[in-house]
Amino acid sequence: MSVTTLTNSVSWPGLRPWLGTLVRLGLAAVWLFAGAAKVGDLSGSGRAVNAYQVMPFEVAQVIGAALPFVELTLGVLLLVGLATRVVAAVSGALLLVFIAGISSAWARGLSIDCGCFGSGGQLAAGQSPSYAPEIARDIGFLVLAAFLVVWPRTRVSVDRWLESTT
């Protein structure tokens, strides 16, 4: 194999769909894990949303009960690679809401667990929240979603299969 052949096979256009596949599967795993961690305790998910103190309790309960199913749906769609760009854009929007919520809680001096991967809600006295790492983590996930918005074509996906049949 010549150096030119090797260079062409690891070029950005050749690498991008494989990297996109890893990004898609990674973001899918995040959503699937987050949704699965909450789906068994929908009222707990509602309490976690209510802890942000940005909406009435009843609304927080409904959002908290729906959120795990939204996350699971995003995860499954990303896992199979269906409507990747749209799902990545929705993921990005949801992550921006999460970042804004955590930032708001931090700015208002609330002492809560974000509830991002289950549990959540008010922290016990003496416990301190970890807002900066949570925001940094969500920004990292947002970067993954942005990658897929820009480059949604990935390997081993329904999108790719649908594209090849038309």
pLDDT attached to residue 155: 94
d(CA 144, CA 160): 19
pLDDT attached to residue 76: 98
DSSP 113: E
Within 13 Å and on the Cβ side, how many CA atoms surround 120? 25
pLDDT attached to residue 7: 54
d(CA 22, CA 156): 11
Local confidence band at 163 (pLDDT 50, 70, 90 cut-offs):
confident
User: How much of the chain is in helix, strand and coil states, percent to nearest 5?
Assistant: 70, 5, 25
pLDDT digits (tens, 9 = 90+) for 50-64: 999 999 999 999 999
Q: Write down the domain spans for the chain.
A: 16-157
Q: With pLDDT > 90 as the criterion, what percentage of the chain qualifies?
A: 80
pLDDT attached to residue 9: 60
pLDDT > 70? residue 4: no
Q: Are 90 and 122 in contact (CB under 8 A)?
A: no
d(CA 133, CA 78): 25
Local confidence band at 103 (pLDDT 50, 70, 90 cut-offs):
very high
Q: Are 35 and 112 in contact (CB under 8 A)?
A: no
Q: Nearest 5°: phi and psi at 90?
A: -65, -40
pLDDT digits (tens, 9 = 90+) for 111-128: 999 999 988 888 888 888
| 3-class DSSP state of 166 | coil
9-13, 23-27, 69-73, 116-120: range with lowest mean pLDDT: 9-13
Q: What is the mean pLDDT of residues 82-102?
A: 98
Instruction: Identify the burial level of 65 via C-beta atoms within 10 angstroms of its C-beta, where 0-12 means exposed, 13-18 middle and 19 or more buried.
Output: middle
Q: What is the mean pLDDT of residues 40-69?
A: 96
